[in-house]
Amino acid sequence: MDEYYVATFYSTNYALKCEKTLKQDNIKVKLIPVPRQVSSNCGLAARMDEEALRAFSNLCREGTIEVEGLYSVVKEGKNLIFTPINKECP
């Protein structure tokens, strides 16, 4: 079972800002297409591990990053299970 986190944004600009901000702090984050199971707003989402999630959460609470939603993603076989963590900052 694999687990990771996906953040969605209101616009592509917010997604790009998130990636740039986290990478400046040497935090691993990868922009991916937004999974259809979670949103249809912006075309990009940020995929991150638990360490990156902590840094992301801090930046979000500071107002540096604006987020639409945050999801825990668990891979079970060929299925991905998306669980909302918080609609706002975690």
Query: What are the mean pLDDT values of the chain's consecutive 10-residue runs (90 residues total)?
Result: 86 91 92 84 87 89 87 90 76
Q: What is the structure's pLDDT at 65?
A: 84
Q: What is the structure's pLDDT at 71?
A: 93
Class of domain 2-86: alpha beta
Q: Where are the domains of the chain?
A: 2-86
The β-bridge partners of 48 are: 5, 29
Please give the DSSP secondary-structure letter assigned to residue 61: H
What the block records as the tokens of 18 is 């998130």
Q: What is the structure's pLDDT at 64?
A: 83
pTM of the predicted model as reported, rounded to 2 decimal places: 0.86
Phi and psi based region of residue 77 (left: phi greater than 0; alpha: psi -120 to 50; beta: remaining): left
